[in-house]
Chain A
Amino acid sequence: MSALIDLSYIAASILFIYGLKALSSPATARKGNLISAVGMLIAVVATLFDKHIIGYQWILAGVLIGTAIGAIAAMRVPMTSMPEFVALFNGFGGIASLIVGWAEYERNLPSWTQGVPHGGDTPIAFTATAIYLAVLIGGVTFTGSMVAYLKLSERISGKPFLFGGQQIVNGVLLLAVLGCGIAYAVAPADTYWLFMLAIALSFVLGVMATIPIGGADMPVVISLLNSYSGLAACAAGFIILNTVLIVSGSLVGASGIILTMIMCKAMNRSLGNVLFSGFGSVTAKKSGAAAQGEAKALSPEDAYYVLEAAQSVVFVPGYGMAVAQAQHVVRELGEALHKNGAEVNYAIHPVAGRMPGHMNVLLAEANVPYEQLVEMDAINPMMDSVDVAIVIGANDVVNPAARQDESSPIYGMPIIDVDKARSVFILKRSMASGFAGIDNPLFFAENARMVFGDAKATVQSLLAQFKEN
């Protein structure tokens, strides 16, 4: 029986891997997700045959509650709320791993107090270390994700929260966690209270690590927390010596780390800078080469005439499009332009929005075919031949200061080169600067026109003109 269970775990791992592989193209991705879900089902069913499991009533209760909550939430959540939804669920994964670690500790404790390992011959210190890691990482993932959830859903301010001596407090916390861990791993049978303290500390650490991070840096944080939730599962796998936990936990861990690196690279900042600098908390001081000049406003009526003649149009969406809920009218305008003979594309910066791929999901929901969603590196070489680039609710990711102004805080960050298009329309409420609080010389460029007003209303008015004519 035990061999059969192990074989099922191998099958489950293969299905997870296969499912992730299918994610390499939108055409196969949905099937891949299904395959991965089948893998999970196999793993769960196989586990139910484990000889350690005798009672099923508690399991049934837990599964029923979890399924009901999970299914209802997944069906109801609107696509615009996806970042906070992912953060919330990530937190649940973290707390589950923490509780597994805690339950395993309770289970092992009677044997450990007599100085023998609980079943098998794994050294006590090994299991204790794995338990500690699962609890620690799980706890940080849980509270960190909750803070991210609160920030993303704007239940608390998305601004970085900083106070004097923050680094010192965090340093002390980290040392305390490390100290607790070593003391616990050496004598886990006599340090119950240290273990409880560690749970509390991990919670505090998760909060402290996430509060200094501002709204637009959230893509990095969610990716990182995603990685943690995998690593916590992985640690749980080392407690119960289970390969499927270790394999899938590592896959998720690696996935989160890669996304984190991609996000950091797209902002040209190190992970340390994102996590600790409180970027965006202070308005950047005006540099000597501050953008000067006069922004030229354009009415939607005049904008229409330019668009009507355009052969090639690129939309550059940002978080502002999500806030204005403008994705559906943007798609309609795209279709109208297409009918008018223009080539239409959507250029998406890796960190546009509040999580990796945020804009893509919104535009896909609005029925934009995925062939038109173009990555930054693919669109930039074509930018010279674009007639009109329409920037909707994006700011820092199209700021040419990142290319030209060495004193700019975002200097070196890869951007979408909309300034190289023949003309640029910037749909914006006002001249206010973006999240990073940096002037945007794009607004004063020769080929740039500001179309002031609510982005959705502006697009709607453009669309109405296309329909009339």
Chain B
Amino acid sequence: MLLLLLFTFVLAIFLGFELISKVPSTLHTPLMSGSNAISGITIVGALIAAGETDSGWVSYVLGTAAVAFATINVVGGYLVTDRMLAMFKSKQGGGKA
């Protein structure tokens, strides 16, 4: 199991390199805010920490805080990326030049 996870990790890094090197520099800022939103995936861990009842109150408080921070990251990240990408217009579509 652990080795399999490490294997997944290595493959995902390589895949990431392949994918990201194809992103044009024009879109680097939305790429950063978008990938920032993806890094909010840590919310999955936060949800489990906040939802478990067999652990003490320290875990609750920590879990809730983690959920809040991760949600800010996810919601804010995707929304702001969408706002930015909506501004990139082509000559044909909407651009006034």
**Is the Cβ of A26 less than 8 Å from the Cβ of B26?**
yes
B:54-77 near A, CB below 8 Å: 55-56, 58-60, 62-77
Q: Mark A240-255, 1 if CB is under 8 A from B, else 0.
A: 1111111111111111
Whole-angstrom distance between the alpha carbons of A48 and B1 in the complex?
23
A70 to B85, CA, bound (A): 18
Interface bin, chain A: 35 or more
A422 to B47, CA, bound (A): 61
Q: Verify A58–B39 contact, CB threshold 8 A.
A: no
Interface of A (DSSP majority class)? helix
Whether A358 pairs with B29 at a CB distance below 8 angstroms is: yes
Interface assignment of A75: CB less than 8 Å from any CB of chain B = yes
CA distance A238 to B30 in the complex (A): 28
List of B residues within 8 angstroms of A335 by Cβ = 96-97
- B side interface size, CB within 8 A: 84
* Residues A244 and B41 in contact, CB atoms below 8 Å apart: yes
Q: Give chain B residues whose Cβ lies under 8 Å from the Cβ of A96.
A: 40, 42-43, 46, 66, 69-70, 73
B51 touches A53 (CB 8 A): yes
* Contact partner, A69, options B16, B35, B72, Cβ 8 Å: B72
Distance in Å: Cβ of A16 to nearest Cβ of chain B: 6
List residues of chain A with CB within 8 A of the CB of B31: 23, 255, 259, 356-357
Q: Report if A153 contacts B (CB, 8 A).
A: no
In contact, B91 and A371 (Cβ under 8 angstroms): yes
Nearest Cβ in chain A — how far from B90, in angstroms? 6
Residue A323 is within 8 A (CB to CB) of chain B in the complex: no
A19 contacts partner chain B, Cβ-Cβ < 8 Å:
yes
Is B39 within 8 A of A230, CB to CB?
Answer: yes
Do the beta carbons of B62 and A356 come within 8 Å of each other? no
A361 and B30 contact, Cβ closer than 8 Å, known pairs A40-B38, A96-B42, A246-B5: yes
Q: Which of A40, A67, A356 contacts B25 (CB 8 A)?
A: A356
Q: Which residues of chain B come closer than 8 Å to A436, judged between CB atoms? A: none
Contacts A70-B73, A241-B5, A245-B41 given; does A106 touch B30 at CB 8 Å: no
Number of A-B contacts (CB under 8 A): 393
Report chain A residues within 8 Å CB of B83. 74-75
| CB proximity of A107 to chain B, nearest CB, Å | 5
Chain B, residue nearest A350 (CB):
B25
Could you tell me the distance in whole angstroms from the C-beta of B52 to the nearest C-beta in chain A?
Answer: 5
CA distance A69 to B53 in the complex (A): 27
The answer on a CB contact under 8 Å between B36 and A86 is yes
With contact pairs A62-B65, A246-B12 given, residues A50 and B24 touching in the complex (Cβ less than 8 Å): no
* Chain B: CB-nearest residue to A258: B20
Q: Which of A24, A27, A99, A104 has the most CB of B within 10 A?
A: A99
- Please give, as numbers and ranges, the residues of chain A lying within 8 Å of B89 by CB-CB distance: 364, 367, 369-370
Q: Which of A93, A237, A246, A250 gathers most chain B CB within 10 Å?
A: A93
Contact of B40 among A40, A53, A254 (CB under 8 A): A40
Partner of B97, one of A23, A61, A334: A334
A37-B37, A93-B36, A106-B55 known; A29 and B85 CB under 8 Å?
yes
A344 to B95 CA separation, bound complex (whole angstroms): 14
Q: Which B residues are CB-close (under 8 A) to A89?
A: 33, 36, 72-73, 76-77, 80
Complex Cα distance A43/B64, Å?
18
- Which has the most chain A C-beta neighbours within 10 Å: B8, B12, B63? B12
A59 CB within 8 Å of chain B: yes
In A79-130, the 8 Å CB interface with B consists of 79, 82, 85-86, 89-90, 92-93, 95-97, 99-100, 102-104, 106-107, 122, 126
Give A25-77 interface residues, CB cut-off 8 Å to B: 25-27, 29-30, 33-34, 36-37, 40, 43-44, 47-48, 50, 52-56, 58-59, 61-63, 65-67, 69-71, 73-75, 77
Interface centre among B20, B38, B47 (most CB of A within 10 A): B38
A295 within 8 A of B: no
Expressed in whole angstroms, the minimum distance between the Cβ of A223 and any Cβ of chain B is 7
A74 proximity list for chain B (CB < 8 A): 75-77, 79-80, 83
Going nearest first, the 5 A-B pairs with the smallest beta carbon separation are: A66-B71, A254-B16, A62-B67, A357-B28, A53-B51
Q: Which residues of B are at the interface with A, using a C-beta cutoff of 8 A? A: 1-2, 5, 8-9, 12-17, 19-53, 55-56, 58-60, 62-91, 95-97
| Known contacts A24-B23, A356-B31, A369-B95; 4 further A-B pairs (Cβ under 8 A) | A74-B76, A86-B32, A100-B49, A245-B45
A-B contact pairs, 21 of them (CB 8 A): A21-B19, A23-B34, A26-B26, A47-B43, A47-B48, A58-B50, A58-B67, A63-B68, A66-B69, A70-B79, A74-B83, A97-B42, A99-B66, A246-B9, A248-B12, A250-B12, A255-B16, A259-B31, A361-B87, A365-B87, A370-B90
